[in-house]
Structure 1
Amino acid sequence: MISLGADTIVLFKQFTDWTDTLRKIDERIWIGPIAEGKATVAEIIAHLQHWDRYLIDTVIPALKRGEGITFPSFDAFNRIAYDYARSGVARDRLLDEFKQTRHALVERLLAEPDVVVKHVTVNGVETCPHTGTPYSLLYIIHEFNDHDRHHQNQILAVI
């Protein structure tokens, strides 16, 4: 079992403190792939923002209706974010959009504590197959924190 609490949400919000530092990286690093055949830093930020928006627009309303969480096909969903990052959106605008979306999501999470901790299904499954932890939106945020750190480490490796 994993211990989850308010610190999970605080950590989730604080990630934007680190992404703000990306405003100063070299443009070639911002738009270059982190490794051959991999996403760019810009695409990673768009990807994170796109998933946060999905939680706000789709997941939270579904949970409030008493439904479970349904995640879309990752590749197709992520392609939308990558296309947006390649659309010519300015770095500061993309970073601002990510920060605003992440903070809006955190506000929603804090305003809906019953929704956040309620046990739910994710794509029809009740518990995480890796940890055995019952799914909740709070657990998904815990997983998103791990996901954020994964991408942070990828970016740090190229900076």
Structure 2
Amino acid sequence: MSKDTVIKHYEHTLEWVQSLTELTDKEWRHAIADGKWSIAEIIAHFVPWDEFILHDRLKEFWNDRALCKAPDVHEMNRQSAERARHEERSETIGRFIAVRTELLQEMKKIEASRWNTSFLIGQTELTLSSYFQGLIKHDLHHMEQVKQALSTERR
């Protein structure tokens, strides 16, 4: 996956999340399916992960040592979902836009040649290209869930 492809995806997510300001409060807060998060919780959970990548990953990729494992996924997601239940939609969207924009700006500074340089997370060897490919797959999974939930709810 090229740097340009990753950049385009991240730019698209900014536009897409901004478009969610048009939702009704019911659409924003309603669970997308039984036992699943609401759109508010889905969008909110991107924020701490983007912050983690921005502050704890990007600057460490090429230090010639294995990067530490990510924080506890379930706990980080639980906390972000909980926060989303109590904050205004504009705040959740604003936090997403702010951190993703900052992440995007930092990614643009990385030389294209570095996108295929290997690094380790624990015992796993990755490149920036493969790392972001996994993150994009995660974004697209949730974007599709939201799209499906909205099309079902609006019938």
Compute the TM-score of the two structures, normalised by the length of structure 2.
0.85
Matches within 5 A, 1:3-18: 3-18=1-16
Structure 1: 5+ residue runs without aligned partners?
Answer: 127-134
Q: Would you say how many aligned residue pairs link Structure 1 and Structure 2? A: 148
Does the 8 Å CA contact 2:62/2:119 hold for their aligned counterparts?
A: no
Q: Secondary structure at the match of 2:120?
A: coil
Does the 8 Å CA contact 1:47/1:78 hold for their aligned counterparts?
A: yes
In structure 2, distance between residues paired with 1:55 and 1:13: 16
Does the 8 Å CA contact 1:46/1:82 hold for their aligned counterparts?
A: yes
Q: Which has the higher helix share?
A: 2
| In the alignment, structure 1 residue 121 sits paired with structure 2 residue 112 | no
Matches within 5 A, 1:15-34: 15-34=13-32
Does the 8 Å CA contact 1:71/1:123 hold for their aligned counterparts?
A: no
Q: Which has the higher strand share?
A: 2
Q: Secondary structure at the match of 1:120?
A: strand
Compute the TM-score of the two structures, normalised by the length of structure 1.
0.83
Give the residue type in structure 2 aligned to 1:156. K
Seen in structure 2, the aligned counterparts of structure 1 residues 30 and 139 have a Cα distance that, compared at 3 Å, is same
In structure 2, distance between residues paired with 1:17 and 1:68: 34
Does the 8 Å CA contact 1:42/1:85 hold for their aligned counterparts?
A: yes
Aligned equivalent of 1:131: none
Q: Secondary structure at the match of 1:121?
A: strand
Seen in structure 2, the aligned counterparts of structure 1 residues 123 and 81 have a Cα distance that, compared at 3 Å, is farther
Aligned equivalent of 2:135: 144
Aligned equivalent of 1:38: 36
In structure 1, distance between residues paired with 2:71 and 2:55: 13
Aligned equivalent of 1:104: 102
In structure 2, distance between residues paired with 1:96 and 1:68: 33
